[in-house]
Structure 1
Amino acid sequence: MGPRWKGKGSEAKALVDPMSKIVEQLQSSLIQSETHGLLSGCSVLLEATPEQTDLLNRACFGRPIITAEKDKQWFQLGLEEAFYLCHSLKCLKIEEGDKCPKNNEELWEYMKSKRETFVDFYKAYSHLRKKNWVVRSGSQYGVDFVAYRHHPALVHSEYAVLIISEGDGDVNGRLRVWSDFQCTIRLCGSVAKTLLVLNINKNGHDAVSPLCLEKYDVEERTITRWSPEQCREDQTIGKIGNG
């Protein structure tokens, strides 16, 4: 199942303005302005300049917040998004209240305390983002993430993503029996998405610091519903390509 572009010319627009280029521009802008984010529960609030507002929207990081302040634009970043900008792209500093910016280890502990599944979700999120896929929540489809080849305004999401942790199975308690697979695959088929299972292999390393992420591996498997008209050997189980 390939990309389903929205309207004539969408694919050409994506080729002219690749996601990797947009993210690089956002990274440069945030570094130059020494932008700080503010921890707020299970999210990070970010005050953005007009240029950054445009880049955040185009790069699909966070969601704009409507406020009464006409001269300011705030964005709400999820934990994975915020830590990706801070840890992987090194373009965002994050603080709590009026305190000094937290270092990566402090943020790591904070975010783990807010969500039990943070480590596995972050590894999966960063794995896809580094391949230039746009990653959004997949809760409306009963999965962990959905992955887009480019901006959602140009293309429909291509993959419905489920995350499995080594030794623990599915981190949200699904895919434990075959009927779970059947239901999930049927749902993905009904919304024209391919089920992508990301298996997080920790290789015996505990999540004591962000450095452990370099020791983790991600195994990709796409799972499709078998059709009687096809030979079983024709089933596609493999790795996804770059965005």
Structure 2
Amino acid sequence: MKAELLGGECCVVRGREAISTLHDGRECFGTVKLGERGVDDASVFGEAFPEGSPAREYRVELRLMVEEEIYLATRNRIEVLGLDREAHWASALRRVENFDSKYQVYDHMRSKGYVVKNGIQFGVEYLLYRGSPDDFHAEYCCLVKIGDLSWKRVKTIARLAQDVRKRLVICEVHRGKVFEMIVDDSFQRPPDVIASAKRKFRNQSIAETARKRPKITISSS
């Protein structure tokens, strides 16, 4: 299945069959958009845009998140024209800050059965759905912890998530593994643990096994 990187930034897939395969059903990759002007002889919008509608003057395309295009390419489900695997990965690192860690979290959540979408409107990396966003509300806001993470930011995002009936899950990548901590609005400010008034909070991440795992640390600032 062919994909194209437009302007070195946005990866798109065209054609009714290809778009339907990736976007419809359980996996729900990408976002269907109207692209360039031109005759689209197999509109995925069907009856939504009847004959004579101005929308039919545009081609239909599926626009992929960077994480989605890498996920699909590494599984040989799409081939990005003009880029081999190494060049494609280098392109992703250039386009998305801290992409390595973010992609590991994306892949981890996909492996758990979630549909993973962009969460920028809630101040997080991802929104996690149990099915198509057309049929389900997101269950979780997923924040990827990179570097210091303040209590104030966590509290703010947790409150926002709760207001829209979602839960906040903080993910951190450590030695190639993803660790999770679920936080709600009752999350308390970390206590003083050092006489100099430096505050640090350590909370054991949710473990999928009984083996001890690293802790996600949140500062009190």
Distance 1:164 1:132 in 2: 21
Equivalent position of 2:29 in the other structure: 61
Equivalent position of 1:95 in the other structure: 81
Query: In the alignment, is the contact (CA less than 8 A) between 1:146 and 1:160 conserved in 2?
Result: yes
Q: Secondary structure at the match of 1:116?
A: coil
State the superposition RMSD in angstroms.
Answer: 2.3
Change (3 A) 1:227 1:145: closer
Distance 1:83 1:132 in 2: 17
Q: How does 1:91-170 map to 2 (within 5 A)?
A: 91-96=77-82, 102-165=83-146, 168-169=147-148
Q: Which has the higher contact order (CA 8 A, sep 6+)?
A: 1
For structure 1, the residue ranges without an aligned partner over 5 or more in a row are 1-34, 97-101, 170-174, 204-215, 229-236
Structure showing the higher helix proportion among its residues: 1
Q: CA deviation at 1:141?
A: 1.2
Corresponding pairs, count: 171
Per the normalisation by structure 1, the TM-score is 0.64
Equivalent position of 2:45 in the other structure: none
Q: Secondary structure at the match of 2:138?
A: coil
Change (3 A) 1:189 1:135: same
Q: How does 1:1-243 map to 2 (within 5 A)?
A: 35-40=1-6, 41-48=8-15, 50-58=16-24, 59-67=27-35, 68-71=38-41, 73-87=60-74, 89-96=75-82, 102-165=83-146, 168-169=147-148, 175-176=149-150, 178-201=151-174, 203=175, 216-226=176-186, 238=206
Q: CA deviation at 1:56?
A: 2.4
Deviations 1:58-95 (A, max 9, x none): 232111221432215321111110000001x2211112
Change (3 A) 1:90 1:227: closer
Deviations 1:210-238 (A, max 9, x none): xxxxxx1100111123299xxxxxxxx73
Counterpart of 1:55, as a letter, is T
Deviations 1:132-189 (A, max 9, x none): 2000111111111100011112211000000013xx23xxxxx32x222221111111
- Pair member with larger Rg: 2
Structure showing the higher strand proportion among its residues: 2
Per the normalisation by structure 2, the TM-score is 0.70
Query: In the alignment, is the contact (CA less than 8 A) between 1:133 and 1:150 conserved in 2?
Result: yes
For structure 2, the residue ranges without an aligned partner over 5 or more in a row are 43-59, 189-204, 209-221
